[in-house]
Amino acid sequence: MTDKQKPETLPPELQAILARPFKRIVVFSGAGMSADSGIPTFRSGENGLWNAYDPSELATPNAWRRDKETVWAWYEWRRGIVMAAQPHPGHLAVAELQRRCDAKIITQNVDDLHERAGATDVLHLHGSLFAARCSACSKPYALGEPPQEQQRQITPPRCPRCQGYIRPGVVWFGENLDTTTVKLARQAIANCDFLLIVGTSGVVYPAAGMVNGAPSSATIIEINPQPYETSSRIAFQWQTTAARGLPEVVRNILI
């Protein structure tokens, strides 16, 4: 555990909120959750070879049709970064919360850090870097090891069933979210009595709008180091990182 991941002291006001009993807990995580494991966000300035590219131009169906080799190389680079990263104490705390309280986990992230921390049945609203599929027939495809070095272009593999190109298993800009995943996420939030929002600015729709589906009686807590505008629905906004704040929040819930 690094100094940046050491637990932070829980604010007394938040401690009082967490003293209430909760039975239907939902954790909703965003990019800030993964950033604490060293995974750069789209525009973090830590993207090396890809700094000259606009991610919103690469993560689209049009980019795939126009230049599959560049898009595939970019996603393989991202997958390699994720595979080299490790779950942080916040991921481990959320997995423990799921084991002990049957918490539902919804994420906007396309990595597998929640799962590697021990969580199961995670609802990935934006898909996963590890769920590649055929762009023609949608057959799932098992990926091998990503290249060790960054490459500007890589030809995508072909589907063994129909010979279509294998595409990343993420939801691109301009594509619809998976209807089943969205339905399950909405149901979990609509039925919750405690919603913990972690590391998301609340600006990426339609996922961000889902938090408004929480019952008026639900307690909503937000953990984010950035001072975003706080909704009146949020009972407490703790300005800290996921790695430092989540272990203390979960510890107090489980007391």
- Could you list the active site residues? 126
Residues 87-115 as b or e (16 or more Cβ within 10 Å = b): bbbbbbbbbbbbeebebbbbbbbbbbbbb
Contact in structure between 16 and 94 (CB atoms under 8 Å)? no
The CA R_g of the chain, rounded to the nearest whole Å, is: 19
What residue type is assigned to position 184 of the chain? L
Residue with tokens 């589906």: 213
Pick from 198, 193, 195, 207: which is nearest to 228 by CA?
198
Strand, coil or helix: what is 237? Answer: strand
Strand, coil or helix: what is 192? Answer: coil
Pairing relationship of beta strands 194-198 and 219-223 according to DSSP bridges: parallel
In 163-225, the DSSP E strands lie at 166-167, 194-198, 219-223
Query: Which residues, 6+ apart, have CB-to-CB distance to 3 below 8 Å?
Result: none
Strand, coil or helix: what is 134? Answer: strand
